[in-house]
Amino acid sequence: MIISGALAALCLSVAWDLQREARARMELRWGVVLAVPLLAGGLIFGLRAARALLSPGTIVAEVAADSGLNVAAAFGYLIIALVFQLTLVALVVTRGVVELRRSSRYDALTGLLNRRAMQAALEEQAQRSRRLGEPFSVLMLDADHFKTVNDVQGHAAGDRALQHLGTVLAAQMRDIDRVGRWGGEEFVVLLPGASLAQAREVAERLRERVQALPLRWQDRAVALTLSAGASQWSEAGDELSALLARADAALYRAKAAGRNRVEAEPAPGTPRVGLVS
């Protein structure tokens, strides 16, 4: 009874884990394929344990008897054990593949898209805009005085500050927006469908939110601020590198003007004379 109950619990537990993993990764079909044999095994062992509990004398007599039922049960145990082992292997491999995919797309420290994935998202949006004429804007964000945080509070505090910034930024994004860590303390935001004025509003909201939520570090509040530069994809012949350069130039002006502020490139149609490069 104890063995059957334990096997039933184990089969059902692993089947549940498989379904949860499959649901999280949108691979329900494979989750069902792997979980069904374990569910069946869990049901069989559960019924056997219940029968042993309700009628212990009968089950003892059946086990002691030299019958085909016992042979079939032993064979069933072997099959269930084999399925269980194969399922565990599949689960380990699946998790490994998922983690590999995640590490290739996401920044390990902040959990945001990494530079490679962000570059791919920007290029995909640029292609869509060329094809459909859909506008979009880009924000370049930089944490102000980040070196001071590292020097005064330590590198552990600096890492925690980047995590904090990543969390705050991600919480303000729409489902269609993308935010990534571009490198160091610099972040990039992709705003599909946004005009330059809308992008500036988003940047102001992000700046205000970061300023309003200081980092809690060792029972102290560490003030953090952002500077931001905004640019808009405005022409069918626009290049992504030029778009990013304009956002970076606007960010540079925000830094030069005192930090903790937002600057934008000139509105579309305005001559770009005298821009800081």
- The label of the residue with tokens 């002006």 reads 253
The residues carrying an active-site annotation are: 185
Residue 187 vs residues 56, 113, 151, 244, 275: alpha-carbon distances, Å = 67, 10, 21, 12, 21
For residue 79, the tally of other CB atoms under 10 A from its CB is: 12
**Closest residue by Cα to residue 103 from 116, 119, 92:** 116
Helix, coil or strand: residue 133: coil
Report the distance separating Cα 48 and Cα 7, nearest Å: 10
Contacting residues for 235 by C-beta, under 8 A, at least 6 apart: none
Give yes or no for a contact between 100 and 108, defined as CB atoms under 8 angstroms apart.
no
